[in-house]
């Protein structure tokens, strides 16, 4: 839980469910997994959730797949009276396969009781999200939790608003549902599922962006796209054209676009370290014996200068667009 965060597209984080496991290669350098493993000693918050393991290449950090419900953190959004954008489960996945529906019900009840906030939900498990939200008794289960909550803790009138929307079967206008996708394969798999889920806002986090994404190949389009490169130890570089392509696709059809960061690697022109050439197909480049870079127009020299120095400018501009509050469809 954090009332302030350095994440550019949100104001606060709320993590009533802790723990996760890797879903795809975009998870390899997960910062949450690293932090949980570092604090996995007895009595620490990561105990049982992650561990430090020995691999042929050295020590690594790994989730155990165990998840834990934090009842103390559950009600925190009710105590935040000023409206906030809240990243839900910033260090876990609310729809992880080991998370029971009962935990998710309680989280959705809190979101229903806090119409002043906007809850940004992000998952790599779109199938589980769809199954949960399409269950015929889901709204009734969440409504029962709302009705059992002390009215004084919710705030005058909020309990009636929450209950009405839930029983009407309408998507909550303050809940944005998103998927994380690092490349085209995982975008196609996850977006095709999310596109079938009614939501006020559907969005995509393309971070770490590890390949070109063609979002216009699908008939249904997201309301918002966030893109960014990878940071932290072992970060993989992002080709500038992958980010440019997403920016241009979004501009062409009116999708809100936010460029979060370059990550640990910066494009040519910000060099302070030895470059790595990267082509559009994620292959690291080399110079041949004759000194010529083959297919140089497809390559970009990326420099490992660190997240802060690399910054957030894409071709000299900041991109901080946010979606409209609610376009339920």
Q: What is the pLDDT of residue 68?
A: 97
Cβ-count burial of 316 within 10 angstroms (0-12 exposed, 13-18 middle, 19+ buried)?
A: exposed
In-domain check, residue 262: yes
For the record, the structure tokens of 73 come out as: 């953190």
- Per-residue pLDDT tens over the stretch 273-301: 566 666 655 555 444 444 455 544 567 78
Residues found in the chain: 329
pTM of structure: 0.89
Contact, 15 vs 91, CB < 8 A?
Answer: yes
In-domain check, residue 33: yes
In-domain check, residue 164: yes
How far apart are alpha carbons 218 and 188 in whole angstroms? 8
Q: How many C-alpha atoms does 186 have within 13 Å on its Cβ side? A: 23
In-domain check, residue 260: yes
pLDDT reading at 328 higher than 50: no
If we measure between CA atoms, which residue out of 88, 89, 101 comes closest to residue 128?
101
How far apart are alpha carbons 147 and 287 in whole angstroms? 67
Within 10 A of 186 (CB to CB), how many other CB atoms are there?
22
Cβ-count burial of 292 within 10 angstroms (0-12 exposed, 13-18 middle, 19+ buried)?
A: exposed
How far apart are alpha carbons 239 and 231 in whole angstroms? 14
What is the number of domains present in the chain?
1
Average pLDDT in the 31-59 region?
A: 90
Q: What is the pLDDT of residue 76?
A: 96
Residues with Cβ < 8 Å from 288, sequence gap 6 or more? 294
Q: What is the pLDDT of residue 72?
A: 94
- Per-residue pLDDT tens over the stretch 118-134: 999 999 999 999 999 99
Roughly what angle, to the nearest 10 degrees, separates helices 158-168 and 101-112? 130
pLDDT reading at 1 higher than 70: no
| Mean pLDDT of the residues in the chain | 88
Residues with Cβ < 8 Å from 44, sequence gap 6 or more? none
How far apart are alpha carbons 288 and 294 in whole angstroms? 8
How far apart are alpha carbons 246 and 226 in whole angstroms? 9
pLDDT reading at 153 higher than 50: yes
Domain carrying residue 133: 12-267
- Long-range contacts of the stretch 286-290 (C-beta < 8 A, 24+): none
- Per-residue pLDDT tens over the stretch 54-90: 888 788 899 999 999 999 999 999 999 899 999 999 9
Contact, 35 vs 91, CB < 8 A?
Answer: yes
In-domain check, residue 179: yes
> In Å, how far are 24, 71, 76, 121, 141 from 137, measured between CA atoms?
31, 23, 26, 21, 6
Percentages (nearest 5) of helix, strand, coil residues in the chain? 30, 20, 45
pLDDT reading at 152 higher than 60: yes
CA 302 from centroid of its chain's CA atoms: 24
For the record, the structure tokens of 171 come out as: 């998507």
Please, which residues bridge with residue 267 across strands? 302
Place of tokens 């490169």: 229
Please, which residues bridge with residue 206 across strands? 227
In-domain check, residue 161: yes
Residue 201: give its domain's CATH number: 3.80.30
In-domain check, residue 294: no
In-domain check, residue 276: no
**Omega cis (within 30) before 179:** no
């Amino acid at each position: 839980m954090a009332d302030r965060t350095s994440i550019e597209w949100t104001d606060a984080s709320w993590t009533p469910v802790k723990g996760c496991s890797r879903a795809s290669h975009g998870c390899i350098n997960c910062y949450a997994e690293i932090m949980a493993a570092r604090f996995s000693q007895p009595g620490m918050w990561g105990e049982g959730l992650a561990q430090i393991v020995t691999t042929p290449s050295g020590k690594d950090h790994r989730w155990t797949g165990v998840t834990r419900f934090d009842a103390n953190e559950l009600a925190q959004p009710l105590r935040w009276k000023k409206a906030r954008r809240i990243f839900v489960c910033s260090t876990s996945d609310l729809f992880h396969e080991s998370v029971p529906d009962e935990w998710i019900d309680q989280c959705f009840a809190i979101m229903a009781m806090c119409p002043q906030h906007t809850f940004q939900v992000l998952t790599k498990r779109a199938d589980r999200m769809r199954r949960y939200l399409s269950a015929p008794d889901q709204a009734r289960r969440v409504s029962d939790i709302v009705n059992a909550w002390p009215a004084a803790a919710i705030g005058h009138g909020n309990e009636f608003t929450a209950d009405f929307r839930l029983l009407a079967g309408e998507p909550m206008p303050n809940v944005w549902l998103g998927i994380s996708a690092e490349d085209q394969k995982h975008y196609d798999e996850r977006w095709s599922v999310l596109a079938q889920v009614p939501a006020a806002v559907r969005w995509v986090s393309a971070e770490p962006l590890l390949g070109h994404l063609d979002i216009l190949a699908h008939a249904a389009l997201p309301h918002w796209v966030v893109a960014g490169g990878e940071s932290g130890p072992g970060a993989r570089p992002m080709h500038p054209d992958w980010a440019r392509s997403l920016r241009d696709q979004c501009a062409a059809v009116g999708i809100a676009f936010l460029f979060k960061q370059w990550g640990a690697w910066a494009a040519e022109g910000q060099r302070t370290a030895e470059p790595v050439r990267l082509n559009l197909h994620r292959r690291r480049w080399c110079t041949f014996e004759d000194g010529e870079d083959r297919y140089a127009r497809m390559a970009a020299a990326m420099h490992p200068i660190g997240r802060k120095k690399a910054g957030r400018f894409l071709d000299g501009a900041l991109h901080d667009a946010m979606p409209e509050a609610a376009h339920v469809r």
